[in-house]
Each structure stands twice: as structure tokens, then as C-alpha cells.
Structure 1
Amino acid sequence: MSFDLPTLPQGWSYVPLEQLAQKNSVTYGVVQPGTHVEHGVPIVRVNNFKEGRVELSDLMRIDPEIEKKYGRTRLQGGEVLLTVVGSVGQVAVVSEAHKGFNVARAVAVIHPQQQVDPNWLALCLRSPLSQHLLGSRANTTVQTTINLKDLRALPVPMAPEYERGKIIELIGSLDDRITLLRETNATLEAIAQALFKSWFVDFDPVRAKAEGLEPEGMDAATAALFPDSFEESELGLVPMGWKAGCVADIAVQKKGSVNPLASPNEWFEHYSLPAFDSGQSPVLEHGESIKSNKTPLPEEVVLLSKLNPHIPRVWLPVKHGKNAVCSTEFLAYSPKAGGSKELIYCLFSSAEFQQQLCQLVTGTSNSHQRVKPGQVLKLRLAIADDSLFIAFADIASPIFERVYANRLKAKTLTQLRDALLPRLISGQLRLPETEASVENMLSVAV
């Protein structure tokens, strides 16, 4: 099979992937896994790929007797995985933590030869060239599918060993910093969410005061804002002086409409579902590229997806420009007096709220279930005194400012990595000057 390939520097060469892998090792996994077995063997599916790594949440486990038939794809550590059905082209290197796992039919397993670093193969598979070559030959009749024959024939650029090692190290340092920023953000959001739950769901400070104890983790002025007893309400026991209310008491839905096509040359900051799924980074687009009406964003806003609420999508735009718009699949909410966007965001992100939201869906297809906007405003919650809501926002706001700053840093590093990767593994960009630039960028993104 012929490929139209860019020229490589002297000393580099293209080698078919099959020649860099152990014999007969480029194959796919379990074809018919059956149903989930609580204590079965874990298998890696397409949904377990996340940003170049295998995500261990939502693992399917299968009957060991079924898994036994697929020993050829049982993971030992050091293999390269590639999704070949559905959302194709996602790549991960198997760590020791996944030893003994297997993979689904939609995942190809590549066992590199001993002298080939799996991280090099992974970088090459991630590159735009490999993604294009495989994608252009994929079968799209039913589900997008990469043929193993095409995968085995894929030309892989092979630099001298020393250069391969330095490129792996360079891209790896960017990957690690991006991952660290995202993990830091997950921790920060968890802190804000835990505070919200403690104050407004579990009522921990009120319970402490009711027992004659000082509430933990706050100063005396904040503690004084909480009552020391409970009273009955429509929602059950709530702190004394609080009321049984609904989302409409703290938020208002923004329903305006704008047609970006009417301003074809203007730039719009577009908050779409794909942009959310790609790291919560809005896309700058000319009006002529946006083909349908959108909702304009007010200054203070939280976005809640009404589509498929079993996939939580809650977006807090900490800062945005005047031409910011969102998909009509998002519902836009602004805080009422006394409330805050941080409060609404934490409410919408809470497990309790998400559970209620999923009970409101209409539509029978799992991929096209929606929530009616008016029902969201009717969801019930305990309403505290405005002073407590303000105190919460005073704590949460700096947390989300830091999350936003980290997200911008991660976006910058991701753009740098994605620009460098194809040029480095094709030899178009040489290492010394690139290493200095990356070190400078990493020193700033702390």
C-alpha cells in the first residue's frame, strides 16, 4: 500500500508499524464480552481513553472464562493501545497498573519490539500525519473502523535512537505539565464542591453548633452566620430560618438570541458542546462559520447542558468577551441578587442536583434525551440567608479564578505541544532550540 509521505532528514527512515512490533501482535481484543461481572477481569474500552492515558473509572469487567480466550491481548505493561472503532485514533501506553487487563474489540493492542520505546510509537500514532493516513482509509459505512491491515502497514518515522529519546522527553514534559494543571483543577473544584455540600446539603456547621461545637474550617464571623438548630419544612429538616425554595429563587434563565451569520466578519467566542468536551475552551469563530442562532452570554453566567444530562456538562465562564455566545443546547443562568455564579455552578455540579436533573429527561434515545428548561427552575433546594451565600462566593470565587488561570495555561501548553509534535517526529524541527523554548514555557506555566 502506497502512502504520500513528507521527506525525512538524513539518517531517518519510515518503517511499517508491523516491523516495529512483535510478531502477530497488532491485533484487537474481546469481540463478545458479555455482561458486566462484578469481580471479573477489567477490559479497556473506548470510553476509558482520556488525554493519552487509560482512565480507570467506569471499567467493565468480564467473565474470566471469556477473557481466557483472548490471552493474546492480555496486557502486561508497555503495550500501545489505539482505538480502531467508533471514536478512532485515541492512543495510550499501558502502565504496570493495567497489567492483567484485557481490551475490547474496538481497541487495538500493539506490542513493540524490545528496542522500540512504546512512547515513540504512541507519539507517532498521535501525530496528524498518522491520524490522517489511518482516517483516510477508515471504513465509515456503519461505525468508523480502522482496518488492522492498514494499521500494520502504517509508515512510522524512525529517528536515530538518541533523538527519539529526547523528543519523547520533550513532549512528555509538556504532557506531564498539562496533566498536572488539569489534576490541580480537579482538586480545586472538588474543594469548592465539598464546601458547598458541607454548608448547603449536609448542613455540617449547623449540626456542629446544635451539638455545642465550633464549626470546623471557618472563622468566628462566618460561623456566626449559621443557626444552631433545625426546623421542619417541605424538604424535611432544614436549618432554622432557611426556607424551602427552588432554583428560580437564586437564578434566572437568559433567553436572548443572536444570529452570528448576520455579522459574518465579527469574531464570536463560541461556547459549544464540543468545546466543552475538549477541555472547556471556547472557540473563536467568525460569524460566517456559525450556522445557527445562539444565546448571547451575560457577564455573570453558568451554562447547563439540557442534552443528555447523564453526561454532566456544567460550564462556568469566569471571564469572557462581549461577543460570547453559547449553543442552544446549553441553558444560560445568571444569579439573582444575593446569589452568585459560583453558588449556581456548585449547585448544578452537585450529585444531588444531577440526580434530580436526570429524572426530568424526555426522549427515548440515550443519545438524544433532553430536559425542559422550565423544569430546571422548579427543582427544590434549601435557601439560606443572603449573607451565607455571599460568604460562600467570597471563598469560592478565588478558587475558580485559579481554575480559570490553570485552564488557560493548559490550553497554551496543549497548543504548543500539538504544534511541536508533527514537526519534531518528522525532523522538520531540531532539538536544541526547541528544548530551550519549551523549558522557558514550562517555567512560566507553574
Structure 2
Amino acid sequence: MKRIADVSKILSGGTPRKNIPAHWGGTIPWFSAANMHEKYLEKSDINLTEEGLKNGSRIAPKGATLLLVRGSGLFNRIPICFAKAAIAFNQDVKAFVPDQHTDPLFFHYWFESMRPVLSENLGVTGIGAGKFDTDFLLELPFPDLPRSDQEEIGRVAALCDQKIELNRRMATTLEEIARAIYQSWFVNFDPVKAKAEGLPPAFMDEATASLFPDQFGDDGLPEGWAFGKLGDVAITPRNGVKPEQIDPDTPYIGLEHMPRRSIALFDWGAAADISSQKSRMSKGDFLFGKLRPYFHKVGIVPLDGICSTDIVVVRPKSPEWGSFVLAVISSDEFVEHTNSGSSGTRMPRTSWGEMARYEVVLPNPAIATRFEEITKPWRDRIVEIAHENRTLANLRDTLLPKLMSGELRVGEAWEQAEAEDAA
């Protein structure tokens, strides 16, 4: 075995001064603990200018592996990411750049396989944050394999990741289509406007169009619709559970498992490590992150289990309101409402009481039912995708150690990976 130090160089990043506008808002993607949520890093919601890069940060080249080495979030999750393009990064991140004899993808997956070792060797800073010492990272072992073998193994793992990414995109597309319909029907009132002008609603069959009124009332709403509140159509099932009452294998979702701005929840843990009261959740419920709600963490529960009490479990009062409720609580307007009504400054929290007071426009139940009929299969598909991705990730993580040790041949791994991809 070699060492990480023998096959790569390590780079340290930085943060330009934030009070200088000329440093920010450019075209250079910049990453820190706050936005290292995906495996592959390419575009960021925070960007530097060339001046900002020269005055406080650093570029990791395409093909580098980035590791968060300092932060309280390390106790929940260790971000290990792959640079799909040249990107900048901050001082809490290290970038590992493989040498010419080392395949970048293989290097990355090898680092991924070292998660258990990393978890066992996580240190603590003076202020209680997690940390990895650079000397420890450089001494990690690395397989002494020819680059050609590394490339073959990397391609097998990448096949699983490509399928996972395609699934993510499908889930995102389904979410966007459902949101577009919600916006058209319940915010812009497009079908009602069309009928009021004597036109057929666009992209709608006659049976669905017949459910919509052809005029507006004095209150400005479609005739027969009414102003209401989220609490009129949704509840939160208050069902707390203590650690000693929970099977250790019970699925657990914390805020760390919830991505921002995505209703698809692809990740969860187990109850074995919890030490405080949690909330029960059921498959098909919706979750809303109430701690720092501006993070916009909302999702569909993919399986029965428990969740953090920093998450509100939301359930429609009756099935026909399911997609309507999800569209409301995942909207930018709703998140802004909860954020503005939060209590606390450093760690603001919202509450179900604040959420339930949110004003909504309630259509007649027949239209809500039709919206549910159209969109529920998409919600169900998103949940299926979550489980497919979980299976693919487990397959990848099972194959890699066997390939790296020589226990499994690349050809056999290809067959297993392609069989799962075809399924």
C-alpha cells in the first residue's frame, strides 16, 4: 500500500473579505460547508470574482477531491466531493489533487471508502467543532494499483453514480412539473381566466376543464373558492417517542439528511445513535425543517420511521389535499412566511402554529382531488427513486472494497452494476 501523500498533493482554500463587494458575484464557483451537499461540484450559489480569488481563496482543479476538514457538521456528515470543474473553496476544506499516475475518479471513490476510518478519527477543536488533522489525512493508505486498473474500477463505480444522478434529475423534473401546475391553477388562476375569456384552458382535457368556474367573485377569487389557512387542510401528528422506545434499526431522518430545495429525500440514517426524544413519521408524510427555515428543507417521507424534533411532520387532513399541501409548504412564499415569523436570532425556529396560520386560496374539493390524481403518481415515483438510489449506492459501496482488494474481478462487477442499472 502507498499513502495519500505519495499519490496526491493537498491544497488549502480561503475566504476573501466579505465586506468588499468586488470580491463577490463573479463567475468562479466557491464552496464551503454550507453548500457541499452534492457529490459532484460544478456550479455554486456563491461565486467569486477574479479579484476575490486573488485576495483570499484558491482554485481546486477539475478532478480534485474535496474534503470538509473542520466544522460542527462533521459529527453528522462528512462531505467528500468531486470537482467536475475548476472551483474555489474556503479554509475549512482541503482539496486533494491526484498525480499523473492516479486516476481522479478512483482516488475519489477510494476516499469515499475511507469514511469509517475518517469517522473513527474525527477530532475536536477547542470550540467543540469536528476536525481532521492534515498529517493524519496524508498518512491514509492508498492501493498500489496500475492506473489502468484504477480507471476500470472507477468506471464501475461511476456507472452507479450516473444512474443515481439520472434518478435525481427525474425527481427534480417531476417536482418542477407539479409546481408549475400548482402555480397555474391555484396562484395565477390560468384555467379560470381562459374560461372567462371564452377560451379552452391550455393543456387540459375537457373533463378537468369543466371543474373550473368561468368567472371571478367579488373577492377576486374564482367563483366558489375561498380564502383559508394551511391548518384548514393539514395537521401535524404530535407523536413523540423516547430513545428507549425505539428499535435501533428504525430509519431516522435529521436535518442533515434533507437537501435544500428538493422534496426528494434520498438519505436517512438509523435510530441507533440517537439520545433524545424524536417524532414518529409515516411513509407519505411531509417534513419541514423548522430550525433556520430559510434553508428551505422540505420533503416527502420515503418510509416509516422517526425524525428530529427540529423537523415538523405535516399530514393532509384528507388524501385529496396531499399534493396541494406539499406544493404550499415547499413554495418560496411559504418558506419566507415561516422565516419572518421565526423566534430566535442566531438559531431561528418556526412552529406548527406559525405554519398553520399561513393564508392559502382553497379551491373546491373536486379540483383539489383532480390535482391529487394527476400529481400523486409523481410523488410516488419520487419515493421509488429514493429507494432505487439507496440500493444503487449500497451496490457501489459493496463492490468497491471487493474490487480494490482483488476479491472481485472488474468484469463481474460490470455485470452486477449493469444488471442493477437495467432493473
Band the TM-score falls in, shorter-chain normalisation: 0.7 to 0.9
2:43 corresponds to which residue? 56
Structure 1 pair 48/205, CA: closer, same or farther in 2 (3 Å)?
same
Indicate yes or no: 2:306 matched with 1:306: no
Any conservation in 2 of the 1:272–1:327 contact (CA below 8 Å)?
A: yes
- Indicate whether 1:188 and 2:187 are aligned: no
2:282 and 2:108 map into 1 onto residues whose CA distance is 42
In structure 2, distance between residues paired with 1:371 and 1:282: 23
TM alignment of 1:421-432, pairs within 5 A: 421-432=400-411
How far apart are the structure 1 equivalents of 2:248 and 2:18? 52
Q: Secondary structure at the match of 1:362?
A: coil
Q: Which amino acid is the alignment partner of residue 229 of structure 2?
A: C
The change in CA–CA distance for 1:300 and 1:93 in structure 2 (over 3 A counts) is closer
1:327 has 2:300 as partner:
no
Q: In structure 2, what is the equivalent of residue 420 of structure 1?
A: 399
Deviations 1:362-396 (A, max 9, x none): 0111xx32113222111101111111000000001
The aligned residue for residue 81 of structure 2 is 92
- Which residue number in structure 2 is paired with residue 249 of structure 1? 232
Which residue does 1:132 correspond to in 2? 117
Counterpart of 1:10?
A: none
Residue 167 of structure 1 deviates from its aligned partner by 0.6
Q: Which residue is equivalent to 1:11? A: none
- The letter of the residue matching 1:118 is P
Any conservation in 1 of the 2:103–2:147 contact (CA below 8 Å)?
Answer: no
* Contact preservation (8 Å) 1:53, 1:91: no
Pair 371,139 (structure 1): closer, same or farther in 2 beyond 3 Å: closer
- Give the structure-1-normalised TM-score: 0.82
**Equivalences for 1:44-83 in 2 at 5 Å?**
44-54=31-41, 56-62=43-49, 64-68=50-54, 73-83=58-68
* Segment of structure 1 superposing worse, 203-212 or 134-143: 134-143
* Cα distance in 2 for residues equivalent to 1:133 and 1:306: 30
Answering whether residue 248 of structure 2 is matched by residue 261 of structure 1, we say no
Q: Distance in 2 between matches of 1:104 and 1:392?
A: 44
Tell me if the contact between 1:44 and 1:103 (Cα under 8 Å) persists in the aligned partners: yes
1:228 partner amino acid: D
Distance 1:338 1:46, change over 3 A: closer
User: How far does residue 134 in structure 1 lie from its aligned partner after superposition?
Assistant: 8.2
Task: Give 1:167's match in structure 2, choosing from 153, 175, 185.
Answer: 153
Once residues 229 and 358 of structure 1 are traced to their aligned partners in structure 2, the CA distance between those partners, rounded to angstroms, is 35
Greater displacement, 298-307 / 185-194: 298-307
Unpaired stretches in structure 1, ≥5 consecutive residues: 1-13
Whole-Å separation in 2 of the counterparts to 1:19 and 1:256: 53
Q: Is the 8 A contact 2:3 2:139 kept in 1?
A: yes
Q: Deviations over 1:221-280 (max 9, x none)?
A: 1112112233343xxx32222111111221223223444624x66864444434445944
Unaligned runs of 5+ in 2: none
Q: Tell me if structure 1 keeps the 8 A contact 2:12–2:95.
A: yes
**Partner residue, 1:362:** 343
Q: Give the deviation of 1:33 after TM superposition.
A: 4.1
Is the Cα–Cα contact under 8 Å of residues 17 and 56 in structure 2 kept in the other structure? Answer: no
Question: Who is 2:188 aligned against?
Answer: 202
Q: Normalising to structure 2: TM-score of the pair?
A: 0.86
C-alpha distance 285-76 of structure 1, shift in aligned 2 (>3 A): closer
TM-aligned CA distance change 1:186 to 1:425, over 3 Å: same
Residue 441 of structure 1 pairs with residue 414 of structure 2: no
Q: Secondary structure at the match of 1:218?
A: coil
SS of residue matched to 2:361: strand
Q: How many Å separate the matches in 1 of 2:406 and 2:147?
A: 13
Quote the sequence identity (%): 27
- CA gap of 1:211–1:273, structure 2 versus 1, over 3 A, is same
**Residues 133 and 405 of structure 1, relative CA distance in 2, 3 Å threshold:** closer
**Structure 2 residue 223 is matched with structure 1 residue 240:** yes
Deviations 1:31-84 (A, max 9, x none): 54434522364423233323321152422325x33422568x434433333322
User: In the aligned structure 1, how far is the partner of 2:109 from the partner of 2:247?
Assistant: 37
Post-superposition offset of 1:219: 0.4
Change (3 A) 1:333 1:281: same
SS at match of 2:386: helix
AA in 2 matched with 1:93: F
Q: Is the 8 A contact 1:75 1:94 kept in 2?
A: yes
Q: Name the aligned partner's letter for residue 430 of structure 1.
A: R
Work out whether 1:349 is the aligned partner of 2:330.
Answer: yes
The whole-number CA distance in structure 1 between the counterparts of 2:137 and 2:239 is: 48
Partner of 2:12: 28
Q: 1:307 to 1:51 in 2, by over 3 A?
A: same
- Identify the residue that residue 3 of structure 1 maps to in structure 2: none
Please, which moves more after superposition, 309-318 or 375-384? 309-318
Paired with 2:313 and 2:69, the residues of 1 have a C-alpha distance of 37
- Give the match for residue 211 of structure 2: 225
Instruction: Give the 3 Å change call, closer, same or farther, for CA 65–329 of structure 1 in structure 2.
Output: closer
Question: Of residues 74, 77, 90 in structure 2, which corresponds to 1:104?
Answer: 90
Matched residue type, 1:94: A
Q: 1:56 to 1:282 in 2, by over 3 A?
A: same
Q: Deviations over 1:170-219 (max 9, x none)?
A: 10101111111111111111111111111111212122223332211210
